[in-house]
Structure 1
């Protein structure tokens, strides 16, 4: 049995005519648990590195890289939870997502979903709240200035306003505040998973004598983690239209740009109901059986960094000059 995917509008493609094998839509409790556990394993590895590596000047960068990898996995889980990764039951999905992923990096899945669904609906248009490209970055000071703003934490206020102050998310019935709660107290109640998760993480690291790892965790959460998401977006949506690119990157590159099969981004945009752990098979189906990519080489990229360098070069190359 084949299941037709929802209507999708993607650059130079007519995906609505492609039918997805039902096996690619099947959910797997094993893979859900595996994906959900990965960031916690990375945190434990970071703490182990902090406790066992002698010189602090070596322990700090090693632990920081592991902590950043954990945050990238959490970030991807929040994205997937916006598409009901944990459960098809909305309330159960959002509760699991908040406590198992979003709370650890200071986010809320329902608020994120409101913005992300607009991206899917208006991919590449002026109504896409997540859209960024080299053209928009250039008008705002250039790529180097964008990177500096994130690394220095100057973008953290804008991100907070985007996902919290300007995004009022519906509250799950199971977590509805009492009648006595209103206004700011209601907002605080809806973010309780963030406070609890951060308190647990800070306490565990402090008791272990790794207070500096929690300081690094907070810094990475408001700087490098969102920066890598921004750079990933620029590589996967590299134009002023709805072009969406799948990136066949190395394991290391995917770890920091798009872990947990997020790199199969065209497949995700075309068929968002396909679980992330099935996207690699979805890619093979498109590539080998449907032959979708045969005449659409521009929709495949071998590297995130390579794609960003290519786009930067194209942007900076003088117009009208042939090389």
Structure 2
């Protein structure tokens, strides 16, 4: 087998250089369209389930719808790297639309996320570490419930409408006008769509199919995101500062293969549908490979409780 077919040879204590992994940089409009269509189908199906459920199953159905809606974070994230599709325009359009239900903005998040990649786990510069991971059980619950998340999104809206994003160091002054315009258009469109839906279908529909699912689904996304870097090294070593989670195929499908997160951080140019191949190359070198989200959080809560007693 040729070296190209076999993949790069790993050196002790090191990951392959980016140029050695470029054979996995195969972006595809078709792959992105299929995954986006599946995700859209799940949104429609979960919404239909809310509509037909008897009263005693409405909340569970809303939780399911919320999980699917919250998972729109995955295409938002992937498109920020222009790896969901081969077309840059398709990445921008799909990503911008995917951001709206959770009050996010694609242009703002792209700047935030690229800064996170540049300064991963650097306490002074990684924007994902502001605020830092919860240090006790009360802070953990507060984070998971989602209060800081919603406050942060509404704050971005408010600052966008004021036209002042200077509080966000990762927004370059040259990019700020475009980000401000995007925030204004996105937030206005979100409010208008919600009002129109309320007037046409009734405000209970807005609650059942959007507000309720978002409030119920975001905590599960908070749980998911906490596993990506919490407890990993605070340095620039991509093999140790990020965690990959080996999880069920439906989770990988819904999250656009993001559970292979260490692989993504090491090689952000690799599209979602090739991350499994990257994992095959790297799996024996990764310091943090979890075997399940529930198990990780059970252990993490136990550690937080022990720290409190100590």
TM-score bracket, shorter-length normalisation: 0.7 to 0.9
Seen in structure 2, the aligned counterparts of structure 1 residues 49 and 201 have a Cα distance that, compared at 3 Å, is: farther
Find the aligned partners of 2:205 and 2:247 in 1 and give their Cα distance. Answer: 29
CA deviation after TM superposition for structure 1 residue 245, in Å: 1.1
Shift of 1:117: 1.1
Offset from partner CA, 1:231-257 (integer Å, 9 cap, x none): 2232121225242111011246557xx
- What is the alpha-carbon distance in structure 2 between the residues aligned to residue 141 and residue 73 of structure 1? 25
1:261 is matched with 257
What corresponds to 2:154 in structure 1? 160
Does residue 109 in structure 1 map to residue 98 in structure 2?
Answer: no
Aligned counterpart, 2:266 = 270
Partner of 1:125: 122
Change (3 A) 1:129 1:294: same
Q: Runs of 5+ in structure 1 lacking a partner?
A: 3-11, 178-185, 287-291
Match of 1:212 in 2: 204
- Which residue of structure 2 lines up, in the alignment, with residue 6 of structure 1? none
Matched residue SS, 2:227: helix
Corresponding residue to 1:68 among 61, 66, 69: 66
Count, aligned residues: 283
Query: Unpaired runs of 5+ in structure 2?
Result: 5-11, 160-164, 236-240
Q: 2:78 matched to which residue of 1? A: 80
Q: How does 1:132-143 map to 2 (within 5 A)?
A: 136-138=133-135, 141-143=138-140
Per-residue deviation, 1:197? 5.3
1:201-250 Cα shifts (integer Å, max 9, x gaps) = 7756875x5753421422443x4444334322321212252421110112
CA distance in 1, matches of 2:51, 2:304: 45
SS across alignment from 2:21: strand
Match of 2:289 among 290, 296, 300: 300
Report the equivalent of 1:52. 52
1:316 aligns with 2:309: no
> Judging changes above 3 Å, is the alpha-carbon distance between structure 1 residues 155 and 90 closer, same or farther for their aligned structure 2 residues?
same
Distance in 2, Cα, partners of 1:145 & 1:49: 30
Answer yes or no: is the 8 Å Cα contact 2:31–2:85 preserved in 1. no
Q: Distance in 2 between matches of 1:43 and 1:201?
A: 17
Q: Does the 8 A contact of 1:40 with 1:70 survive in 2?
A: no
